[in-house]
Chains A and B, each alone.
Chain A
Amino acid sequence: MTNGTPLNGLGMEFFIDHSRCIGCRACMQACEECDTHRGVSMIHLEEIMRADSVQTAPQVCMHCEDPICAQVCPADAIKKTADGVVQSSLKPRCIGCSNCVLACPFGVPKYKAEINQMMKCDMCYDRTSIGKRPMCATVCPSGALTFTTRENIERTRQGVAIREWQFGDEVVRTKVNVLVPRSVHRIDVTVEQIGRTKTDEYDVATLLAGD
């Protein structure tokens, strides 16, 4: 199956709008509550540079079309479902080698030493398979995480939903969409950007010196 195949026949997809995120962590707190992995969050929130800005970014699994985590897994412990969800590692197979942790371009898989296993977001497969929306995208108070139809997103959001990323020479297509300005068609992630982002615009002292 290809990306975007309707989950449960409802045409629902996952959308992230980073500009909406308020860093409240309701997503992580709710993720902990899910029936299959209760008490452990499978997603995380990045504080971009707290000293400079309050910007935050929620990180769920992007569910790559051709998941690198699964490719590099020597134990074949990471499976993709027919509808495109990349599942957490299979307990009997995972050997805790952390290849996936190192390989994922989004930093999603986490090695849990206490159980010697990698665990990650499976888009609440237990919920979506019975017609419920994923926990994080249900509770998110800002709409930064949304689980809805593409049609609904196009009707209610100014940005455009894309799911194609460029990491150096590598193009990665994901099941999860991100909302970006209409001029953007692919997110180009280059290593050079790190540390060079201009953050003065968020410095209150700079703003006060405005006139």
Chain B
Amino acid sequence: MSDSLDEDLCVAALDEASRLGCGYAEVRLHFNTYTGYSLRSGVTEPTVLVDSRGVGIRVICGGSLGFGATNVLSRQSVVEAVNMAVKMAKASGDGGEKYVLSAEEAVSDNWRVNQAKSLYELPSETVVSLLRDVDSASSREVKGFSFPVRLLRIDCSTEQKLYMNSEGSKISSVVPRVSFHSVFVGLRDGERVTVSVPPGYSGLGGSGGFELIEKLRLEEYVASRLTEIATTLSSTTAPPRGERVDVILGPNVASLTSHESVGHPFEADRVLGREAAQAGESYLKPGEYNIRLGGAEAYVSDDPTIPNSMGFYLYDDEGVKARRRRLLQAGYVSELLHNRATATKFAGRSNASARAVRYGVEPLIRMANTYIEPGDWSFEELLKDTRRGVYIKSFMEWNIDDKRLNQRYVGLEAFLIENGELKASVNRPILEISTPKYWSSIDARAKDMEFYSGMCGKGDPMQGAPVYFGSPHIRLRDVVLG
């Protein structure tokens, strides 16, 4: 990107917005590049490239919000986009929500995530060769299961932004991201199953260069996880149903619960009803804070500043400096995720949660890296301390209602626990539980932490935002499985 040209475009847009009488304007030059490599059952699929380059402009005119965007990066086109944004804001007229931003400091900064092995210069052969090795290691028969369908994918992307606003902020950034995903169809005696590694269609990776993928030792990881999964798929033992048992959740399952039933409902735009038509609302209501959602062991945070995380950023797309947000503290609602507009409604400051994933969409309140905070138990101690229960290590199917009160996770790898020891694997235990009951049932958290990567969906048009979800092993006391 040519810095002087880009800055000139941004300045032209801000000048035009000022000329048109806007009280506030911001410009985001937003460039995304993506390269996807995949292997389907040993066959190389076409490489997929996606480049997206354009400018998104938000204005507040007469108190109403307008947005315009174009991928024609000429002065004329950008000025036209500003005019369109202003026209759209004014068209809202008296029927428009009055949009007021919290007061925040103007910032000037330039930051990037470093990469040892640049994704942009990565030879295709390197990635495809790695996928071939993973494929070879995972194509053997395990416990009677063959895996004739093996879909392996590595996604490499770079997000580059120049953000400027009419208050004097100017921030440029570069974030490379890389992740691995895989799906398998297993066959045994006419039985067909679909599984992913990692389970739950989550991914592994983060922000950085290809060194993040190399560190994962995917060849060994995928083969060993597939072996573990195949072993438990053989189980025909039913889980204890309809009785109260203790349940230890593995990080794979527990991490998603933090995202789904704390992260999303703590997005202030949902709480205020702004996402009601699409992504839904929240069990939290405006004004209902410092309420108790869970027990003394319920701690959840969201932190964009975790180095090399998938949701890493230092400033959000409203130019606010990022920091950790503790959402749930000892079971109490501690802090919501805010942008500058919702912060105003809550009489506070933004905590830098506004993100847009490409130039043509507005910034929305998004999670970054949401996780259950670690405790002080080891997994072995948790197990030893559990007399009768089920260990649900991983899952495949899940969903939650749009107020985030009613969640379900169907176990993939699961085992009975008897007198502190793991026993037989059990077939598909279902944890279908209300959110308050879930967070009130946690009585212990281990020290171990795992993070998984994913794309979080929200908005209309849909914006898939890169995130992490993380957790240690946790234990739920006295819950009922289906």
Task: Verify that A and B bind, or say they do not.
Answer: no
